[in-house]
Structure 1
């Protein structure tokens, strides 16, 4: 009896295994029938096989969804909006069946963008779709377009009375920080390659492609940042901020986070109001911090107390742990020294700033300007003094490459400085072609004279 039961079980197992193997073979055939025309963009021929795959073999291979995304994007780009629900379903099924191989924030933001661009759902539902993407996986919510749309919807919801203005301000701070973080990461990678190139090492074909990609993406983030600021518009002007914060001050004066945010916004807009001083003093009494020290430094600077302001700024740097805030403090210290003509000290702080935010083109441009202004003091003869302009031009070039938002100004500045550097005839007359000029003034370093 036991022997008969064992044999029957074995027969059933083999039968089931055979069916499973047959199904896998069928999935492989169907995937091939789908993938081959999809590879050649013959999507009309591929579509029926895709539909069979997601119904019968949804877990068979991730390429189902990878080719599916390209296929539906093609259909929609061609004007077939009837495919939008299937496009969204393709993203959702990939996330469901291949979560470990899918960037959730990226996929959810693509779904949200599709809903927004095709007016699916209310503005609040569209906003919530982006919010889910950002809250679930912020590291992979990196699309410049989606970041802007997310914020733009928040402002629209404020305009329609569905969101509070403070919520919009808080979101602006978060979105701006996100953009700056992404810019910083891209600029750091770009700077490494630029430095490698400037040191005389040829870049590989892959590295050149990366340089182009980094510069393109930096340009996209720069545009988005400008669009975000434009969308916020008059909401964050002093005319709106001052009465809003005056109204809320008594209620919120013991809320440290609110004081930091409000004082920060008033400071950023240079709003002239006695309430700013009240906020800063209150903040410093509740929680002496980097931000309160920084604001006290701003007040001291406005009163013409440069040394006192510098002390406060240095305190702010020591107390601050947030890199983005520390950038602001380093900038203020650098500007303080630059304004007093202490260029070496100013450059030190611009460099500290650039270590944190390597895409800050303005810092490179300020260094370039200081080099140019020091030309007459750096060299033992006219040729060496004018050679300083080559170094200044290099700094301006770097400003343009890491920060597309100022590329026009930076490129024009670099061209102007090169026009002030020794000409080809000067190089020939001095016999300096290909030689190196070293600088013994505060600038230090050297520059290689172009070969004729």
Structure 2
């Protein structure tokens, strides 16, 4: 190869490298301008340079798509007509897909597809089938990153719509209902645990840090959102899950499914939840389940049947066996609640409280357990206090338990507040406290065995 040819090749390589370097510099400069504007939400100034980076340097940084999403969400929120909403929603969907194309490692499938599904549903893009398909892909391929109370509700809502249209089976609705309810309860437990822990810290007199205050506030907001969604899907499933529909459905499926452990668990569980346990089918389901796979579930159902036959001791034996075998926290909590209820109705308050606390240890959002403890405490005021003041002081403790119920379970907020106010009215008045300045706390005896602080005037 002669010198002239070598010089030409070398010059070409230099020019090419120079071009690449110049383009990289241009990308960095333009991106810097776009990002700075976007950081302060000056999207009007950010738009042109941001879209320039997106077009000419699509793989420069994932920040292009993160800021682009915020920009388009802002436009969508401000859109005045349906046509504009559709336009911006479609642009946002395209952007989300591009992000996955160029940054798959930094994009969660569950998050992306559920976002797309919600955009399609909210802006009437595509069919019910295509909207559902996005949610279904997100949930089945990346459930961990399928987050957001509203999106969970929309996913379930669309499935029910398809079932009403004859495109999905009722069993599909039941299966998704069970799965989504479990996911919601897991999220509720996480938030309730945060609330319970920080509330206890606050009640002890400690000062929460600004970060802890934000955590407490956000946990409350998210807990209320999940509570509304759970109520919404329960309302949506409505009569579909009533005994009149469950019994014929499962009766027809029983012979072909009686050795299918998962089906038996689901069928028996749903019939138990809907109080369809008087029907002979429930006994057949439990019997088949215990034969196919003796487990926590079959032990629980045998306990239910024993309780119906007024064999309380046998029922407790089965329930305790179920609680020991159960591995899922929310299901374990439900079993302990049954045990606690048996003891409460028998007047064994100490044993009942012990099991209600086991309920809360496994499912911190189970507010009803706090209300039950509160009721037992209040009912024991006369027997657990030594004098008039201490007897009435018991109601302060009952009030405290009642308020906890509303904090960890927003659906009980109104009931809990009313119950707590009722207990507070029965507790020592400000005059009583003023007349007994030496009393700073009251140790409550008998089965309660707790100390309650006298409120400051």
**TM-score, normalization: structure 1?**
0.95
Structure 1 Cα separation of the partners of residues 387 and 6 of structure 2:
101
**Aligned equivalent of 1:219:** 224
Cross-structure match for 2:180:
175
1:68 aligns with 2:68: yes
1:186–1:6 Cα change, 3 Å:
farther
Bigger CA drift: 57-66 or 149-158? Answer: 57-66
Whole-angstrom distance in 2 between the partners of 1:332 and 1:5? 89
How many residues of Structure 1 are paired with residues of Structure 2 in the alignment?
451
Taking a change above 3 Å as real, the CA distance of residues 388 and 5 of structure 1, as seen in their structure-2 partners, is farther
Equivalent in the alignment of 1:325: 331
Of stretches 5-14 and 440-449 in structure 1, the one that deviates more from structure 2 is 5-14
RMSD: 1.9
Please give the per-residue CA displacement for 1:382-404, whole angstroms capped at 9, x wherever unaligned: 11111111111111111111110
The secondary structure found in structure 1 opposite 2:65 is: helix
Q: Does the alignment pair 1:275 with 2:281?
A: yes
Q: Which moved more, 1:140-149 or 1:278-287?
A: 278-287
Which segments of 5 or more consecutive residues in structure 2 lack a partner in the other structure? none
Task: Summarize the Cα distance change of 1:391–1:23 in structure 2 as closer, same or farther, 3 Å threshold.
Answer: same
Matched, 1:390 2:396: yes
Provide the residue aligned with 1:339 in structure 2.
345
Match of 1:120 in 2: 125
Change (3 A) 1:193 1:101: farther
What does residue 363 of structure 2 align with? Answer: 357
Cα distance between partner residues in 2 of 1:369 and 1:177: 28
Report the counterpart of residue 448 of structure 1 in structure 2: 453
Match of 1:16 in 2: 16
For 1:188, the equivalent position in structure 2 comes to 193
> What is the TM-score of this pair, normalised by structure 2?
0.94
How far apart, in 2, do the equivalents of 1:373 and 1:147 lie? 41
In 2, the alpha carbon distance for the partners of 1:350 and 1:265 equals 23
Q: Distance in 1 between matches of 2:9 and 2:405?
A: 74
Q: Residues 401-434 of structure 1: CA distance to partner in whole angstroms, max 9, x if unpaired?
A: 111010000011111111111111111212245x
SS at match of 2:442: strand
Secondary structure of the 1:437 match is: strand
CA contact (8 A) 1:290 1:319 kept: yes
Mapping for residues 193-212 of structure 1, pairs under 5 Å: 193-212=198-217
> SS of the residue aligned with 1:414?
helix
Match for residue 139 of structure 2 among 113, 134, 137: 134
Give the distance between the partners of 1:253 and 1:54, measured in 2 at CA.
57
Residues 105 and 136, structure 1, Cα contact 8 Å, conserved in 2: yes
SS in 1 for 2:446: coil
- Please give the secondary structure, in 1, of the residue aligned with 2:337: helix
SS at match of 2:452: strand
1:259 to 2:261 alignment? no
Gaps of 5+ in 1: none
**Equivalent in the alignment of 1:417:** 423
In structure 2, C-alpha distance between the alignment counterparts of 1:411 and 1:124, rounded to whole Å: 43
- The equivalent residue for 2:298 is 292
- Indicate conservation of the 8 Å contact 1:432/1:449, yes or no: no
User: CA 1:10–1:357 in 2, change beyond 3 Å: closer, same or farther?
Assistant: farther
